[in-house]
Amino acid sequence: MSDIQVTDNTELERYEAHLDGQLAGFAQYELRPGSIVFFHTEVDAAFEGHGIGSTLIKVSLADVRAKGERNVIPTCPFYRGYITKHPEYDDLVEPHYLKQIEADR
């Protein structure tokens, strides 16, 4: 199995994960002034169990961190659940949502 390749498709406002050249999943977002809202993540059933979703989240959050300009608003349940389990991303989360995530821990 090849590595999962994740890219930011800014035209469609989504991070896309490709495995062996095929679109395996994506994470949709909406840019707002000073923030990015991750609202939907989808992994093709044929690729479930290969770490596509987790890789999408890790790479997208690393990209947001590298850009250093946005607060993450994780309305997607998968993003929220991942961040709840990985407090190393707390510094990226918009304060109101971070309080909710901390309450879930």
Of 101, 64, 56, nearest to 81 (Cα)?
101
Which value, to the nearest 10 degrees, does the dihedral of the CA atoms of residues 13, 15, 19, 25 take?
Answer: -70
Length of the chain: 105
Of 12, 3, 86, 84, nearest to 42 (Cα)?
12
- What pLDDT score was predicted for residue 2? 62
- What pLDDT score was predicted for residue 70? 82
24 close to 47: Cβ distance less than 8 angstroms: yes
- What pLDDT score was predicted for residue 1? 44
How confident is the prediction for the chain on average, in pLDDT? 95
On the question of pLDDT at 105 being above 90, the answer is yes
CA atoms within 13 A of residue 8's CA, in its CB half-sphere: 15
- What pLDDT score was predicted for residue 4? 94
55 close to 6: Cβ distance less than 8 angstroms: yes
Q: pLDDT digit string (tens) for 6-45?
A: 999 999 999 999 998 999 999 999 999 999 999 999 999 9
Structural domains of the chain in order of their starting residue, each with its CATH number: 4-104 (3.40.630.30)
Q: How far apart are CA 96 and CA 4, in angstroms?
A: 32
Q: pLDDT digit string (tens) for 37-96?
A: 999 999 999 999 999 999 999 999 999 999 987 899 999 999 999 999 999 999 999 999
